[in-house]
Amino acid sequence: MQIFDANNRLTPESIVEIKKHADMVQCECPTQLLKILDEIRGFQKYTFSCIDKFPADVKTHTWLLESANNLDHMLSNTIAQLARFEGFIDENNNFVPRK
């Protein structure tokens, strides 16, 4: 399974797998980061719809969408690195079977 899509963002399938592994650590950091990512992706959909709804503000909404895309990229990589640190994912971006 590829954990990243063509835009270097976590795929929906990899998010499901990370959620399955998140209980392996005592802290809630993986879960909290995934919640933030979900909020960012919701905002991406919302601001994308604003581009059509509010043509007078297309520059602003395009900028907001690009900024949200950058956040998604950065947070996706942060979550993947955390998953590596915690042993969910190996150095080749493959999920490690649970013990």
Residue 50 tokens, joined? 């604003």
pLDDT digits (tens, 9 = 90+) for 24-41: 888 999 999 999 999 999
Residue 95 lies in a domain: no
Residue 18 lies in a domain: yes
pLDDT digits (tens, 9 = 90+) for 48-96: 999 999 999 999 999 999 999 999 999 999 999 999 999 989 999 999 8
Q: What is the pLDDT of residue 24?
A: 83
Q: Can you list the pairs that 43-46 forms with residues at least 24 positions away whose Cβ atoms lie under 8 Å?
A: 43/68, 44/68, 44/69, 44/72
Who's near 41: CB < 8 A, 6+ residues apart?
Answer: 72
Closest CA to 19 of 83, 84, 94: 83
Give how many domains the chain has, as a whole number.
Answer: 1
Residue 85 tokens, joined? 């640190």
Residue 7 lies in a domain: no
Q: What is the pLDDT of residue 33?
A: 97
Residue 20 lies in a domain: yes
Residue 33: domain span: 12-85
Residue 80 lies in a domain: yes
Q: What is the enclosing helix (H) or strand (E) of 57?
A: none
Q: What is the pLDDT of residue 14?
A: 96
Given pLDDT bands bounded at 50, 70 and 90, which one contains residue 8? very high
